[in-house]
Amino acid sequence: MPPPPLLPRLSPTPPPPLRARDRGRPSPGGRGRPTLLAVARAKGKDEASFADRILDYIEGGPKLRRWYGAPDLLPKDGGAEDEEAESPDIEEPRDAVLVTDGDSEIGQMVILALILKRARVKALVKDKRSTEEAFGTYVECMVGDMEDKSFTKKALRGVRAVISPADDGFFSEPIDLKGVEHIILLSQLAVYRNSGGLQAIMNSKLKKLAERDEEMVLASGIPSTIIRTGSLQSTPGGERGFDFTEGVAAKGRISKEDAATICVEALDGIPRKTLIFEVANGDEKVADWKAWFAEQTKRDEEIQ
């Protein structure tokens, strides 16, 4: 029997409207999960993609926002940003997850996986308007320069974990990460190092950013999970298992959906120091990611 998909797949038939007594109750067959059109395309007109399946819920109105745990929309005049401008030093509970490069395809997949876990999400994006139109109140979009200390402080306010799903150089420059409890870095450094010829020239900048990101994360002193993946592919997730063999990242491949899911599942497995592993799609099945990360952390600590 094939393993269940990591990110839920739905029937192409739209789910019926939620009734009051059904709110908060999982629907049969995993229905009732959100998605975003900008992330992926359906494989066929009769099969909804991971992205297509969340759209109705993101745009479902106040009833669905309450059912899904999101706050009501703020009025256009005034709101959270005005309050933050007035009280820049306000303390917040550290319960948010900050996603860097939220405009990228893999970044959006990570955001969607976090939404499915009902996590509080903040995202660094370049186009705030389009991201807000796509995600609504499920995500707090941040636009600015991380070299600006005031913006950095605002972006990291209330953040307990940072997920960097792309080699965007987020950690390339020193950043005040005080209060952050966990860093999750998705790295394709092995892929860049293994490339040759024209591809190596094209990847040279990304290689430098990836190297710098890993160096800075390791030097941060913050518990970190570095996930070295094979080449990221725009293929459906949850259809294959995994290969965690050392060296597999250099030549292996992995679905972006699977990679995004691993990033989010890593939130529940905070290492004491740093956990580094390689992964590509393969034949090994992982039924319980929390148990898997606990085992890897224990094994890594015994080696150290």
User: What CA–CA distance (Å, rounded) separates 107 from 16?
Assistant: 29
Is 229 part of a structural domain of the chain? Answer: yes
55 within domain boundaries: no
- In this predicted structure, what is the pLDDT of residue 174? 80
Paired strand residues for 233: 255
What is the distance between the alpha carbons of residues 44 and 23, in angstroms, rounded to a whole number?
31
Question: How is the beta sheet containing 96-99 ordered, strand by strand?
Answer: 139-142, 120-124, 96-99, 159-164, 182-187, 224-229, 274-282, 241-243
List the one residue out of 179, 176, 149 whose CA is nearest residue 161: 179
Contacts with 117 (C-beta within 8 Å, 6 or more apart), sequence order: 264
Q: Is residue 32 assigned to a domain?
A: no
3-state secondary structure of 120: strand
Count Cα neighbours of 8 within 13 Å in the Cβ-side half-sphere: 21
Residue 21 lies in a domain: no
What does the alpha-carbon distance between residue 186 and residue 226 come to, in Å, rounded to a whole number? 6
Q: Is there a domain that residue 289 lies in?
A: yes
Q: Which two tokens stand for residue 75?
A: 């009025």
Token pair of 108 as six digits: 């959006």
Q: What is the C-alpha to C-alpha distance for residues 164 and 180, in angstroms, rounded to an integer?
A: 13
Closest alpha carbon to 190 in 229, 156, 219: 229
Query: E-assigned strands of 110-170?
Result: 120-124, 139-142, 159-164
pLDDT digits (tens, 9 = 90+) for 259-276: 999 999 999 999 999 999
Place of tokens 């450094």: 189
CB 120 within 8 A of CB 93: no
Residues lower than pLDDT 50 in the chain: 1-5, 8-47, 57, 59-68, 70-86
* Total tally of structural domains belonging to the chain: 1
In-domain check, residue 63: no
> What is the four-CA torsion angle of 199, 201, 205, 206, rounded to 10 degrees?
10
Render pLDDT for 156-192 as a digit per residue (tens, 0 to 9).
999 999 999 987 778 877 888 989 999 999 999 998 8
Structure tokens at 44: 């066929």
In a domain, 179, yes or no: yes
Residues 262 and 6: their CA atoms lie apart, in Å, by 9
What Rg value do the Cα atoms of the chain yield, rounded? Answer: 19
Question: What domain range is 150 assigned to?
Answer: 92-303
Whichever domain contains 190, its CATH number is 3.40.50.720
Residue 191 lies in a domain: yes
